[in-house]
Chain A
Amino acid sequence: MIKTLNLKKLYTTEEVETTALNNVNIEIDKGEFVSIMGPSGCGKSTLLNILGLLDNPSNGELHFLEHEVSKYSERQRAQLRKQNIGFVFQSFNLIDELTVFENVELPLLYLGYSSSERKSKVNEVLEQMEIMHRVNHFPQQLSGGQQQRVAVARAIVSSPKLILADEPTGNLDSERGDEVMSLLTGLNENGTTIVMVTHSPTYAEYGNRIIHLFDGHVVTENYKEKFHV
């Protein structure tokens, strides 16, 4: 599903050039649950953003669903992204001015679904996330766990092939964290590919593979094995 070849990302400011990713070569297959770990500033989020087509690499190749997308324009990436990728963030990133229903509905709006289709799909995922009773609430009226469930609902409402989660449990207590992880596992079991960045070794274990980054390099890739720094 995803393949990178010598992926490189440089950030250039006025005076300093920082290498965020250096020669990253990874391959993620359909149906996998991949955890990405590493210390702060190692390039985890950068990698996730590039995999999620939010950003272009500076060098190297990125293959996504048989397309070489590293040189895609913003518009082309947006097109590919909205049809295939769902995002879950540490800080939930719900729009404060929209209700739970409207937040979840948003991706479908941009995909051009009809009103009735949107309604049934949104209700379906909200049922699935057990947040239906909060459908008309605004994000600030929800607990962190509830907000993250809404965020997950929004990520999956368009049935994407890939879900990218950037520390989805980072802002939650362990109980809510567990809940979110089991949601993700459930989705993976139903065939959705998941790539998750996390600091937590415990939650990384939920993946069938852990990719470890350090200073922009892939250090190790472990299949169903524990890894200690």
Chain B
Amino acid sequence: MLKNYFKVAYRNLKKNKAYTFISVFGLALGLAVCALLLLYVQNELSYDQFNKNADNIYRLTQPEHAYHAPYIAIKLADNLPEIKDYVRIFPMDSEIIEYDNKQFKEKNVPFADPAIFRMFSFEFVSGDKETALDKPFTTVISETFAHKYFADENPIGKVLKIGGEYDYTVTGVMRDMPQNSHFRYDIILTLSGADKVFGSLMVNLGWQNFLVYFELQEGFSKSTFEEKCENLIQPFYKSYNPNFPKYSLQSLKDIHLYSAHIKNDIQPQNSITYVLIFSAIGILILLIACVNYINLLTANATTRMKEIGIKKVIGATRNQLAFQFVGESFLVLFIAFIISLVFVQLSLPVFETLTGKVLSFTALITLKNIVGVLVFLVGTSFIAGFYPAFFLSKLHPIQTLKGASITNKSKFNFRTLLVGVQFTIVIALICSALFMFSQIDYLQNKKLGFDKEFVLTSEINGTFDNVEKYNALKAALLKESIVASVSSGSRVPSNTTTNFGNLIPEGEAKPTSIALIHVHQDYFKTLGIKPVKGRLFSNQLATDIDNAIILNETAVKELMLKGNPIGQSVKCDWPKSERTIVGVTEDINFESLYGRVRPTAFLIDYSECSRLIVKVNPSNAETTINKLQAICSNFYPDEIFEFHFLDDKLENLYQSDKNTFQLMGYLTFLSIFISSMGLFGLALFLMKGRTKEIGIRKVLGASTPRILILLVKDFTKWVLIANIIAWPIAFYAVNKWLQNFAYHIEMNYWLFLMGGFIALLIALSTVSYQAIKAALANPVNSLKNE
């Protein structure tokens, strides 16, 4: 019996090649996309789970960032019994590391407390993870790092020179940190004996540059803990910052996906929003593929009424027929499933590039997934097989034998409803994608308040505090015809502004925390920033160095300055000085457009300027950079100059967004493709079912265009209805997503219309081929078919 079922199933699939191809290929594509997205989501959700103590590790955060003064952690640990252990990490952007005359500029070089390897589960290749960082001036490196510096030598006991100044002995080699760790370092320098390196900064409460992690006792109360933290820390800051920020704990497992509010995190983290979006898209695409399949299967089943009738006459029971159809459906699904695995395997490298992740096919093989797939296959088989199995086999055998048309008499038709659902999904996706693309376009082209083109920047380890040396470099650079302007500052656009100082306007007592950017004189000229009020710093006025300050418009508001701000004086604590406001700039978007422009003040302080800014004239990028590097190295032989174009750096701010949008774009395209395929298949069956009607109409004198209109009218109606349902859904989703950005596009209603129009166009062009074919057919042939 089973063999007979298989035979019939196989021959039917072979006979209806278009149907089979669309069903199997569409399902396989849908399943493959779903599997890839599952891999992605699994990976995203797995961050930091490898840590044995993950459940008890928390990061201390403030509303906008996770950086604290190093002393805070000690104070809390000494007073709160809930704290089992703490780790402070001071992440440095880059550092020059030297060994045996080999010198590299390493990115992401952190200092960390020795407890880091006790708290987090990083594996060691050699050395003792318990004690590796206990002694001052020790360091642990990764295998990759070890190979880079020491090749095949044993790294243990080797001495690395850090920043040209301090010698650190390698005491351990760890395996490369897993990709799904929220921090990934190749070298960790000990904080043991840190005062020898940082001196009194270690007890400076204004030096808020440390990430703080706690391992807490099980069963502690989060809210009580946070309250205690505040009570302990508040006294330090209260006199000095009335808007004392709230402290909260963030679970280690939440860091990767729930840190959208945290600025300047150690790695750009992802957001749970995107994980949810991609989960939803995965499910929707699978739904589209299933709808296709169910639609085609039911449409195809009506062509098998004769078979059902004969089998019933001969004595097949309804259960037997139901079993046959459900089984057939399962077979198709299973074939599609196998093909989807091949698709996944083939597309994994491309998907990895798109997501910037290292994913493994084997990660799909989990008990949960296997059970999920089985439930899906059996469930969909039942749903898809349900219609022919129960509805058709319920029909009277005589009716089915006579090929009685079972076109639904009611206006409500399950199949068109499904097409409607499908188009609702597709339209919502198209609209969302359109908005996403306009938003990224907006991010890239928004006027930021400065010139981002032809500006090169390079960060050095030290600062440009030696004015003579710096001026000599500047003069040498300006001699080059390609160089238009030179300056330096503590921050350039694309850097997060993490230096905060307190400003007290004249006549006020309360200080206000303002982001500070310390600059050399030509800073504004080099970046093309113009004042909206007053003037910029002048090379001619020596008093500007100690006495002038420039604010952005937000800072003027934040300080609640009355009247014309120009000429008013403010007290500043970094450097301690009394300054006169000489100019106001517009709100320059220094950071990504996710956040509002902070209140910012600019002042001259050479000792904080570590970033060289060179505005060049259009020329060959590589030769320009080489030339600049040669000149700079002449003056600063101990530094490594790596120049980057400012516009590239700004674009990098949105790199992960761009990847996300790109992926979103591909997924939208795939969803359109799969549903078009389904629609094409469905049209094929529907037109077939209407050949007699078309024939009669033509005999009675209907023109081809009129028949065409008749045939596509239904589809058009459903797409239009789908639009009406899809728009509010897309509106809600897009609106919610746009809230993530402080600066975003407006809700352009025409984008919804465009989305709907695209969907309609796709639907019509898909259906038209079949419709034209049907409308042009010779009525004699179609009537003969009856």
A102 at the interface (CB under 8 A from B): yes
Chain A residue at minimum C-beta to C-beta distance from B402: A91
- When chains A and B are docked, how far (Å) is the Cα of A107 from the Cα of B310? 10
Q: Does A78 count as interface, using CB distance less than 8 angstroms?
A: yes
Contacts of A96 in B (CB 8 A): 306-307
Determine whether the beta carbon of B315 is less than 8 Å from that of A81: yes
**Docked pose: A109 CA to B323 CA in angstroms:** 14
CB atoms of A54 and B398 under 8 A apart: yes
Pick the residue among A89, A102, A110 that contacts B315 (CB under 8 A).
A110
B320-A110 in contact (CB<8A) = yes
Q: CB of A111 within 8 A of chain B?
A: yes
Checking B11, B315, B316, B398 against A97 with a beta-carbon cut-off of 8 angstroms, the contacting residue is B11
Give CA–CA (A89, B160) in the complex, Å.
95
Contact B1 A109 (CB under 8 A): yes
Whether B317 pairs with A78 at a CB distance below 8 angstroms is yes
B306 with A78: CB separation less than 8 A: no
Instruction: Give every chain B residue within 8 A of A74 (Cβ-Cβ).
Output: 318
Would A97 and B312 be within 8 Å (CB), given that A102-B4, A109-B4, A110-B320 are in contact?
A: no
Q: Closest CB of chain B to A160's CB: distance in Å?
A: 10
- Residue-wise, chain B 498-531 has the 8 Å CB interface mask toward A (1 for contact) of 0000000000000000000000000000000000
Q: Is A87 among interface residues, defined by CB-CB distance under 8 A? A: yes
Closest to A87 in B: B313
Chain B contacts with A in 289-318, Cβ cutoff 8 A:
306-307, 309-318
B313: chain A residues within 8 A (beta carbon): 52, 54, 81, 87, 93
- B313 and chain A: residue at smallest CB distance: A87
* Beta-carbon contacts under 8 Å, A87-120 to B: 87, 89, 93-98, 102, 105-107, 109-111
In the complex, what distance in Å separates the CA atom of A154 from the CA atom of B311? 12
Contact between B310 and A93, CB atoms less than 8 A apart: yes
Roughly how many angstroms separate A54 CA and B395 CA in the complex, as a whole number? 11
Q: Which residue of A lies closest to B1 (CB)?
A: A109
Residue of B at shortest CB range from A45?
B398
Number of interface residues of B (CB under 8 A): 24
**Chain A min CB distance to B310 (Å):** 5
Does any Cβ of B come within 8 Å of A55's Cβ?
yes
Within the assembled complex, what's the spacing in Å between the Cα atoms of A184 and B314?
A: 19
Q: Collect the chain B residues with CB atoms within 8 Å of residue A87's CB.
A: 313-314
Residues of chain B within 8 A (CB-CB) of A94 are: 310
* B314 & A110 in contact (Cβ 8 Å cutoff): yes
Interface string of A68-98 (1 = CB under 8 A from B): 0000001100110111000101000111111
Which chain B residue shows the least CB distance to A86?
Answer: B314
* Interface presence of B762 (CB below 8 A): no
A52 contact set on B, CB distance < 8 A: 313
Cross-chain contact of B401 among A82, A93, A98 (Cβ < 8 A): A93
Taking CB atoms, residues of chain B closer than 8 Å to A107 are: 314-315
Q: How far is the CA of A114 from the CA of B22 in the complex (A)?
A: 37
Bound together, the chains give a CA A181 to CA B397 distance in angstroms of 25
How far, in Å, is B207 (CB) from chain A's closest CB? Answer: 80
B12 within 8 A of A: yes
B370 at the interface (CB under 8 A from A): no
Closest-CB distance, A109 to chain B (whole angstroms): 5
Whether the Cβ atoms of A55 and B315 lie closer than 8 Å is no
A224: shortest Cβ distance to chain B, in Å?
Answer: 31
**A98:B8 contact, CB within 8 angstroms:** yes
A49 close to B (CB within 8 Å): yes
A79–B8 CA distance with the chains assembled, in angstroms: 23
Instruction: Report B-chain residues with C-beta under 8 Å of the C-beta of A93.
Output: 306, 309-310, 313, 401
Tell yes or no: B396 within 8 A of A by CB: yes
User: Nearest chain-B residue to A93 (Cβ)?
Assistant: B310
A82 (CB) vs chain B CBs: closest residue: B315
Set of chain A residues within 8 Å of B311, measured between Cβ atoms: 95, 106, 110
Residues of B close to A102: CB separation below 8 A: 4, 7
Q: Does B15 contact A (CB under 8 A)?
A: yes
- Given A54-B397, A95-B8, A97-B15, does the pair A111, B315 have CB atoms closer than 8 Å? yes
Given contacts A54-B398, A110-B320, contact A98 B315 (CB under 8 A): no
Contact across chains for B398 and A49 when beta carbons are under 8 A apart: yes
| B4 contacts A106, C-beta separation under 8 Å | yes
* Smallest beta-carbon distance A69→chain B, Å: 15
Contacts of A97 on B, CB cut-off 8 Å? 7-8, 11-12, 15, 307
Task: Give Cα A45–Cα B311 distance, bound, in whole angstroms.
Answer: 19
Closest-CB distance, B784 to chain A (whole angstroms): 16
Q: A74-B318, A89-B401, A110-B316 are in contact. Are A55 and B396 (CB under 8 A)?
A: yes
Cα(A98)–Cα(B397), bound, Å: 19
CB of B7 within 8 A of CB of A98, answer yes
Contacts of B12 in A (CB 8 A): 97
The chain A residue sitting closest to B310, CB to CB, is A93
A153 to B307, CA, bound (A): 17
Which residues of the other chain, B, contact A78 by a CB distance below 8 angstroms? 312, 315-317
| Contacting pair A95 B306 (CB below 8 A) | yes
Nearest CB on A from B306, distance (A) = 7
Docked complex Cα distance between A94 and B8 (Å): 13
CB distance from B123 to the nearest CB of A (A): 60
| Cα–Cα, bound, A154→B309 (Å) | 15
- Alpha-carbon distance between A28 and B311 when the two chains are bound, in angstroms: 26
Q: Distance (Å) between the CB of B742 and the closest chain A CB?
A: 63
Assess whether A82 is in contact with B398, with CB atoms less than 8 Å apart: no
CB distance A95 to B310 under 8 Å?
yes
Tell me how far the C-beta of A37 lies from the nearest C-beta in chain B, rounded to whole angstroms: 20
Task: Give B4's nearest chain A residue, CB to CB.
Answer: A109
Contacts of B8 in A (CB 8 A): 95, 97-98
The 8 A CB mask of B1-17 against A (1 = contact, 0 = none) is 10010011001100100
User: Known contacts A81-B313, A106-B310, A110-B314; can you find 7 more A-B pairs with CB under 8 A?
Assistant: A96-B306, A97-B7, A97-B15, A98-B11, A110-B311, A110-B316, A111-B315
Could you pull out 6 A-B pairs where Cβ atoms are within 8 angstroms? A55-B398, A83-B315, A95-B8, A97-B307, A110-B315, A110-B320
A residues whose Cβ falls under 8 Å from a Cβ of B: 45, 49, 52, 54-55, 74-75, 78-79, 81-83, 87, 89, 93-98, 102, 105-107, 109-111, 154
